[in-house]
Amino acid sequence: MGRKIFIDELTWDEFTKGKYDTALLPIGTIECHGKVLPLGTDTYIATAVAVLTARKCETALVMPPLYYSFTGATSSLGGAISVPMSIQAIFLKHLIKNLWEQGFNKIILISIHGPNNIAIPMVVREIFEEYKIPALFFNPYKIATKYSSDIPWLEHTLLMASLKVLNKEHLMENLKNLKTEKSVPLPASLANIFEKGGVIGYYYTDVTQHLPQRENIKIEEGYKILNEIVNELMDLIKNLDIYVKYVIEKYHRAKG
């Protein structure tokens, strides 16, 4: 049996005697992911990345996953639990500051959820401006999309492997023998706005518009991609360690 990697599983004695300096915070959402994927899909994938990384990084702990984010376009489909980005940002900044004060000088926020590409970068920039805390946002899709441009196939595949990592195989039953389905297209005007680089608020009008089903899902492919993601994150942690030391020397010690 390996070491405990979730902070909530440690006793006070184990935590205070341990040498932990890396906090891995999975951030997901509760929202529709097509007809058959769990509502917690984004959270499960981010958590699996954190778990696999903590197994390689002995000074890392996985924080309890955050299941609530701004859901955005899926809010119209049911099953979405959304919080405003402004509230999410305030909460995350307080959490990051507390982790830093607990001795975690490498704080990594992990999320694949689309709207978090807006919310979390704002948080990590503002927490640095306010407290000179160099928290890092990492989106595993930056690595994963090198292996496929078919996002539905990619997310199904990553989810299958992630459920295995998290011992949630019982959720795989709905993912067997899937048939590829077409999604109802977005309005042409909206698609044209996105094509030209525009950003605008919108809702999905059909469940197939967010993660239509894909066939030929292979868990082995998911493991392969997850491992590549973790290898990249481990390299990021090394660079973050160097940068954190620079920030502490330049700003925190100078101030003290």
55: number of CA atoms within 13 Å, CB side?
13
Q: Write out the two tokens for 60.
A: 């890392």
Give me the chain's average pLDDT, please: 96
Domains of the chain, earliest start first: 7-176+217-255 (3.40.50.10310)
117: Cβ contacts below 8 Å, ≥ 6 apart: 139
Whether residue 163 contacts residue 169, with contact meaning beta carbons closer than 8 Å, is answered with: yes
The pLDDT tens digits for 89-121 are: 999 999 999 999 999 999 999 999 999 999 999
The pLDDT tens digits for 208-243 are: 999 999 999 999 999 999 999 999 999 999 999 999
Element at 107 (helix H, strand E): strand 106-110
pLDDT of residue 255: 66
Q: Name the residue among 138, 133, 255, 158 with its Cα closest to residue 214.
A: 158
Put simply, whether the predicted model's pTM sits higher than 0.85 gets the answer: yes
**pLDDT at 142 exceeding the cut of 70:** yes
**Helices and strands, counts by H and E, the chain:** 9, 4
